């Protein structure tokens, strides 16, 4: 029973990381006034935030199953959500040019 709960919490953490990655990608796309600057920030800052979250939840709180190696954990809990979050933002959310932002002061 404990294994099922750990697996469920693992998938919740994976979904939460995907949502965080999608929101951060969207934020960088809307706020940066460069052509490709959002890519650097999305690929640079998002994994750092997800890494900190992974350390807190899987290390401190002990959520999730043992994945065997740190490389697999990094790929599944950081790489996959970043890829999915960027894909969701690029394919399924309106383009930044179509979004009206309030004027900056």
Return the domain boundaries, the chain: 2-95
Q: At what angle do helices 80-92 and 37-54 cross, to 10 degrees?
A: 140
pLDDT for res 63: 66
pLDDT digits (tens, 9 = 90+) for 42-70: 889 999 999 998 888 877 766 666 777 77
| Residues 14-33: tens digit of each pLDDT | 999 999 999 999 988 888 87
Against a cut of 0.85, is the pTM above it? Answer: no
Cα–Cα distance between 24 and 19 in angstroms, integer? Answer: 9
* pLDDT (0 to 100) of residue 42: 87
Pick the residue with more confidence: 20 or 96? 20
């Amino acid at each position: 029973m404990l294994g099922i709960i750990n697996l469920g919490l693992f998938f919740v953490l994976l979904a939460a990381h995907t949502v965080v990655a999608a929101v951060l990608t969207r934020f960088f796309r809307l706020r940066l006034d460069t052509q490709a600057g959002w890519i650097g920030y999305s690929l640079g800052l998002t994994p750092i935030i997800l890494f900190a979250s992974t350390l807190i939840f899987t290390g401190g709180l002990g959520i999730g199953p043992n994945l065997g190696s740190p490389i697999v954990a990094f790929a599944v809990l950081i790489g996959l959500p970043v890829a999915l979050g960027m894909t969701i933002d690029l394919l399924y959310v309106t383009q930044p040019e179509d979004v009206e932002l309030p004027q900056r002061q």
